[in-house]
Structure 1
Amino acid sequence: MSKLEFNIVEIPEEESQRSVGLEEEDLDLSPYEFKGGGIDLQFYRTLHFIRVNFHVDADVELVCDRSLESYIQPIVSDYEVLFKVDVQEETENEDGAVRRFNFSSNTLSIEEEVRDTIMLNVPIKKLHPKFLDEDGSPKEFETKKYGDVAEEDEAEGIDPRWEKLKKLKN
């Protein structure tokens, strides 16, 4: 049984809270590497449903798109899952999900939702923090030229081959 799977009988009626610490091996975030974190859970249990609100605070190791250096990206997010018995169709959106609940299994798992919440908060453009300014915006980077650089006058002049082609056209 994983750390994100809970026995229904152990969840008290009405409101309750738990905190779960996760290690690297507790969650598979392929192709990224999970470095650990914590989850604060709030349960609300009735006879008809169980609502689970969770707050994820995790670290993921990413590779910078600009420098190819590894760095740790903190991920912070909230999500809500509602487990109901009489759900005909499971639904989900960016704020929460409604899942069908099977009392015969006597357990509920939020591992998939936690994994998806972390994965959806991984930035599309992975940029090492050393390339960000105080506001979190990318810093301007300078381009360097190596070797002989042509003089501006030569670079702005028209290539003589183009001149000959223009004469042929006329």
Structure 2
Amino acid sequence: MSKLEFKIVEIPEGESRRTVGLSDEDLDLSPHAFKGGEVDLSFYRTLHFIRVNFHVDADVELVCDRSLESYVQPIASDYEVLFKVDVQEETENEDGAIRRFNFSSNTLSVEEEVRDTIMLNVPIKKLHPKFLDADGNPREFETKKFGDVQEETEQVDPRWEKLKKLKN
């Protein structure tokens, strides 16, 4: 049983809270490396549904697109999952999801939602913090030249010169 899987009978009626610490092995974020984190869960249980709100604070090891150096990116995000008895079709959007109860195991799992929430907050352009200024904006990229740089003289093809003379 996963750390993010809970037995329905152990969730008390009304509101309750739990905090789950996650280690490197608890989530698979391929192709990125999960470096651990913490999930704060807030449950609200009634006879007809269980609402789970969670806040994730996690660290993910990424590779910088500019320098190919590894760095750890902190990620924080919130999400809500509503588990209902009479759901015909499961739905989800960027703010939350509606899921069916799993009556066969009497458990509910938010592992997939936690994983997806972290993955959706991984930046598209991965930039090592050393390339960011104090405001978090990318600094100008510096180009370096190695060896002697010779100015290229623009040579015109002699055939073009003859064609220009014919035109005049």
Q: TM-score range by the shorter chain?
A: over 0.9
> Could you say which residue in structure 1 is the equivalent of 2:160?
165
> Could you say which residue in structure 2 is the equivalent of 1:80?
80
Displacement of 1:70 after TM fit? 0.4
Change over 3 Å in CA distance of 1:43–1:165 after alignment to 2: same
> Could you say which residue in structure 2 is the equivalent of 1:91?
91
Taking the aligned partners of 2:42 and 2:127, their CA distance within structure 1 comes to: 33
User: Which has more helix, going by share of residues?
Assistant: 1
Query: How much identity, in percent, do the aligned residues show?
Result: 81
Taking the aligned partners of 1:142 and 1:3, their CA distance within structure 2 comes to: 46
The residue type paired with residue 15 of structure 2 is E
Alpha-carbon displacement from aligned partner over 1:139-159 (angstroms, at most 9, x marks no partner):
0021111222234xxx4x532
> Could you say which residue in structure 1 is the equivalent of 2:19?
19
> Could you say which residue in structure 2 is the equivalent of 1:31?
31
Taking the aligned partners of 2:161 and 2:111, their CA distance within structure 1 comes to: 68
Where structure 1 has 5 or more consecutive residues not aligned to the other structure, the ranges are none
Q: Structure 1 length as normaliser, TM-score?
A: 0.92
The residue type paired with residue 23 of structure 1 is S
Displacement of 1:165 after TM fit? 2.0
Q: Structure 2 length as normaliser, TM-score?
A: 0.93
**In the alignment, does 2:54 pair up with 1:59?**
no
Where structure 2 has 5 or more consecutive residues not aligned to the other structure, the ranges are none
> Could you say which residue in structure 1 is the equivalent of 2:114?
114
Taking the aligned partners of 2:7 and 2:59, their CA distance within structure 1 comes to: 27
CA contact (8 A) 1:81 1:96 kept: yes
Across the two proteins, how many residue pairs are aligned to each other? Answer: 165
